[in-house]
Amino acid sequence: MASTPAQAQAAAPAAAAPVADYNLGPGDVVRISVFQNPDLTLETRIPESGVVSYPLLGHVRLGGRSVGAAEQLLAEGLRAGSFVKQPQVTLTVLQVRAHQVNVLGQVNRPGRYPLEQADMRLTDLLALAGGTAPMGAEVAVLSGVREGRPFRLEVDLVALFAAGGRETDPLVRNGDAIWVDRQPLVYIYGEVQRPGQMRLERGMTVMQGLAAGGGLTLRGTDKGLRVHRRAADGRVQVIEPRLDDALQPGDVIFVRESLF
């Protein structure tokens, strides 16, 4: 059963700790420690201003810096002030709250997921969400803001995996949303073994639709097939298809009873 968004969000921080190129932001909970200096250990939440108060150094701006850059900044401050000769500073992100992406629709664990590093891709987020659900479409929609303008990109997942390589896998940014729609359906009724709805696979033909419906009953015939298809104006057209004709989303196949 798919997790609720709240459950997915609660589970997200346990996935993997952000790496050194993760940019800190408001809401992130961090622990700062200095080797062999336990009195310099601090656990704090980064405020909206991005500035935290650190022992000996006072106010230090960590928001907007990567984990590695924040460690370096603190170490340089301790060294410059002659507080610690050779400081070894470690900053650990305990809770990721600043950079998140919504993964919604037909995925196994919809919810909000953290961007744990700077170059996370669409497939990374889909993996965190457990992949697409059985009825998920083969296209994912990535939306957000780029350079102050609304951004929307449809990603063909089949072509993406066929091409391989991260170059074709779009980067995901803070505040983005990934939507996986329901795979289009077709319907079949009449003299077939398993009438009802079925997933419309890519390039699916009428013959393949009959096969997915379990084939004809003893009384069925593939002669005089009818496909009911909704046109652009909303009216339903009745088509006499060939067996190798491609089906379209929402098609309804009717299989007649043989007269002999």
Parent domain of 112: 100-182
Structure tokens at 16: 């993997």
In a domain, 16, yes or no: no
Q: What are the DSSP calls for 69-98, one per residue?
A: HHHHHHHHHHHHTTS-SS--EEEEEEE--S
Evaluate the CA torsion angle 70, 73, 76, 81 in order and state its sign.
negative
In a shared domain, residues 52 and 122: no
In a shared domain, residues 50 and 116: no
In a shared domain, residues 247 and 192: yes
H-run or E-run covering 11:
helix 5-11
Q: Can you list the alpha helix ranges (DSSP code H) found in 179-242? A: 206-212
In a domain, 109, yes or no: yes
Last residue of a domain, one of 64, 95, 126: 95
As a residue count, the chain comes to 260
Q: Say which CATH number the domain at 73 has.
A: 3.30.1950.10
Q: How much is the pTM?
A: 0.67
Q: Say which CATH number the domain at 241 has.
A: 3.10.560.10
Residue by residue, pLDDT tens for the chain (260 residues) are 344 333 333 333 333 445 556 789 888 999 999 999 999 999 999 999 999 999 999 999 999 999 999 999 999 999 999 999 999 999 999 988 878 899 999 999 999 998 877 788 999 999 999 999 999 999 999 999 998 999 999 999 999 988 876 778 999 998 999 999 999 999 999 999 999 999 999 999 999 999 999 999 999 998 989 999 999 899 999 999 999 999 999 999 999 998 76
In a domain, 199, yes or no: yes
| Rounded Cα–Cα distance for residues 82 and 163 (Å) | 54
